[in-house]
Every structure is written in structure tokens, then in C-alpha cells.
């Protein structure tokens, strides 16, 4: 299936048409700046611009940095607070005049990584996929099936949330060297390992590209590996999520 996958983030909105069977991008990846303030209407308008620039009139699916349940946004850690309770799928569908499907950004990136990346080797196991970016996103897979909308970046940690302590933006905010960041992230991994005991932890998001600079700080027993799909996972995974939703809709008819 050909679907426009869009990765909506705090600084950029990125999209490309994806062949969901191969995970290949069929158009160039286009990136527009996330408008500030990133309110629902402003993001919807930027999404429209992106779709028009790509020249696409087929189905669209997005990863969004919040808990999204049945088309409604319920959290807003790193996005404008006015998103809370917004009917995001209705808003985007109305704006684009086509069906738009939306899910949590880490969940969709995890779907791509499980299908086209390292997750292929762990289909019958318990996988924790974490994205390290502005926040920390999480996606939990049991035997290849997603337990959606987990928020392990918000575990209480040192009196605040874990993502305030050791996301990539925390690394920049505290001006941490990679080894210092690694030591912090290792503390966090030790905690999630204790809570969840996954078979493997896969790290995605911006900071996973620098995995070699800090991985030696990890002392957890669980295997920790960098994602393979890296920064395209959000786009590819969004398109794959769109395919799942389209197939579900077809079944219901
Ligand atoms: C949000 C998550 C999101 C993660 C990565 C967190 O602040 O609460 O929903 O997946 O950031 O963007």
C-alpha cells in the first residue's frame, strides 16, 4: 500500500510517501518547521502545506508525540497544552479532506523497527523500544504485538520525570558529555529493566545515532542495541499504522 507517513515532532514535521510492503520511501523526505506556538490549528495548517508540497491525495497517517487514543490526544508533555482533548483525527481529516490516522510517535517508530529493523530478530520475545529525543518515548512489544500508549519516559525519577533527566534535550540542557549522558541513561535503564525485565531494549530517536559514544556506560544485564531504521522509523511506522487502520476499516464494512 502507498501511504503518506508523517512524523510530527516538536521542531519538525517530516513526511514521505511510503511503500508499506518494503518500507521504502517513494518520495523524498520533506521537512517543514513545526509552527510556534504549535497549536492544533497551526499544526493542521503545516500538515496541509506538507501534503500539498508532496502533491499527495491518498491516505495519510501520522505519529504524534502524545498519548493518542481512538483519535483523541490525552497528554501534552512537549507540545502545546491546547492539544489536550483535541480530536486530532477529526481535525486533520477535516483539514486535508481525506482520512487521517494518528498514533503515538514512539509506538509507530517501534512498529517500523519491529518490522524492518532489529525487532525482526525478537518477534517472539518481550521488546522495549525507547526513543531518545526531545522526550523519551516508549513502545512495548510482546511477541510482536504492541501494548500501545505506554509512557515510560514519564516514570518518576530524581524528583522529576525520567525524560527531564536523560532525554536528548536534557543532555543539551545540562550540557552533558556523552559519557555523562550515558551514566544517566544507564540509571534509567536499570530502573526500567527492574520494572519490566524485557528480553531486549532497542534505542531509537536522535540520540541513538550516537549510541557508540555512550553505550559503554551501560551496566544492565538486558541486551541494549541501537535501532536500525533510525530517523526514518517515524515516517515508515506512521504509514504502516495507517495501513493497519485502513485494513481494520475495510473489515468493518
Ligand atoms: C510524550 C510521549 C512521546 C515522547 C517522544 C513524551 O514527552 O509524552 O507521548 O512518545 O515524548 O516524543
CA of 167 to the centre of ligand 1 (A): 10
**Superfamily of domain 2-105, CATH level 4:** ATPase, nucleotide binding domain (3.30.420.40)
Q: State in Å: Cα 129 to ligand 1 middle.
A: 13
* Global pTM value: 0.97
Asked whether 105 lines ligand 1 (CB < 6 A), one says yes
DSSP-based three-state secondary structure for 92: helix
Has residue 231 got a pLDDT over 80?
A: no
Residue 6 is given by DSSP the state E
Look at ligand 1, atom 12, and give the residue with the nearest C-alpha.
65
Domain ranges of the chain: 2-105, 118-228
Q: Tell me how crowded residue 97 is: count the other CB atoms within 10 A of its CB.
A: 9
| Reported confidence tier of residue 253, pLDDT bands at 50, 70, 90 | confident
pLDDT tens by residue, 98-144: 999 999 999 999 999 999 999 999 999 999 999 999 999 999 999 99
Helix axis angle for 40-54 and 88-96, nearest 10°, is: 40
Q: What is the pLDDT of residues 23-55, one digit of tens each?
A: 999 999 999 999 999 999 999 999 999 999 999
Is the CB of 168 within 6 Å of ligand 1? no
Which residue matches cell numbers 510517535? 105
CA 211: distance to chain centroid? Answer: 18
Dist. CA 39–CA 80, nearest whole Å: 6
Can you tell me the distance from the alpha carbon of 62 to that of 82, in angstroms, rounded to the nearest whole number? 19
Q: What is the CATH number of domain 118-228?
A: 3.30.420.40
pLDDT for 148-162, tens place per residue? 999 999 999 999 999
| Pocket test residue of 72, 130, 137, 157 for ligand 1, highest count of atoms within 8 A of CB | 137
CA distances to 30, 68, 141, 173, 253 from 14, in Å? 6, 19, 25, 24, 32
60 CB neighbour count, 10 Å cutoff: 27
Question: Could you tell me the distance, in angstroms and rounded to a whole number, from the CA of residue 139 to the centre of ligand 1?
Answer: 10
Whether 63 is in the pocket of ligand 1, judged by its Cβ within 6 Å, is: no
Angle 239-42-86 (CA atoms, 0-180°, nearest 5)?
70
Instruction: Specify the 3-state DSSP secondary structure of 200.
Output: strand
Burial class (CB in 10 A: 0-12, 13-18, 19+), 241: buried
Which residue has a Cα nearest atom 10 of ligand 1? 137
The H or E element that residue 166 is part of is helix 162-166
Q: Fold identical between 2-105 and 118-228?
A: yes
Pocket test for ligand 1, best of 78, 148, 155, 203 (most atoms within 8 A of CB): 78
Amino acid at each position: 500500500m502507498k501511504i503518506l507517513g508523517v512524523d510530527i515532532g516538536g521542531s519538525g514535521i517530516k513526511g514521505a510517501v511510503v511503500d508499506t510492503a518494503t518500507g521504502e520511501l517513494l518520495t523524498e523526505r520533506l521537512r517543514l518547521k513545526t509552527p510556534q506556538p504549535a497549536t492544533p490549528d497551526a499544526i493542521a495548517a503545516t500538515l496541509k502545506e506538507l501534503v500539498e508540497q508532496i502533491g499527495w491525495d491518498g491516505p495519510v497517517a501520522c505519529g504524534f508525540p502524545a498519548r493518542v487514543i481512538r483519535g483523541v490526544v490525552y497528554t501534552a508533555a512537549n507540545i502545546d497544552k491546547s492539544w489536550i482533548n483535541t480530536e486530532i483525527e477529526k481535525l486533520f481529516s477535516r483539514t486535508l479532506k481525506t482520512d487521517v490516522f494518528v498514533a503515538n510517535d514512539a509506538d509507530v517508530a517501534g512498529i517500523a523497527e519491529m518490522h524492518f529493523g532489529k525487532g525482526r530478530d525478537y518477534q517472539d520475545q518481550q521488546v522495549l523500544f525507547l526513543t531518545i529525543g526531545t522526550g523519551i518515548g516508549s513502545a512495548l512489544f510482546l511477541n510482536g504485538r504492541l501494548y500501545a500508549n505506554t509512557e515510560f519516559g514519564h516514570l518518576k525519577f530524581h524528583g522529576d520525570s525520567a525524560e527531564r533527566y536523560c532525554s536528548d534535550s536534557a543532555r543539551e540542557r545540562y550540557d552533558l558529555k556523552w559519557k555523562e549522558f550515558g551514566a544517566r541513561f544507564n540509571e534509567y535503564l536499570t530502573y526500567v529493566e527492574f520494572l519490566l525485565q524485557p528480553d531486549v531494549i532497542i534505542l531509537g530517536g536522535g540520540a541513538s545515532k550516537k549510541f557508540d559514544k555512550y553505550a559503554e556506560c551501560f551496566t544492565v544485564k538486558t541486551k541494549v542495541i541501537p535501532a536500525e531504521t533510525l530517523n526514518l522509523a517515524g515516517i515508515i511506522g506512521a504509514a504502516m499504522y495507517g495501513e493497519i487502520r485502513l485494513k481494520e476499516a475495510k473489515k468493518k464494512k
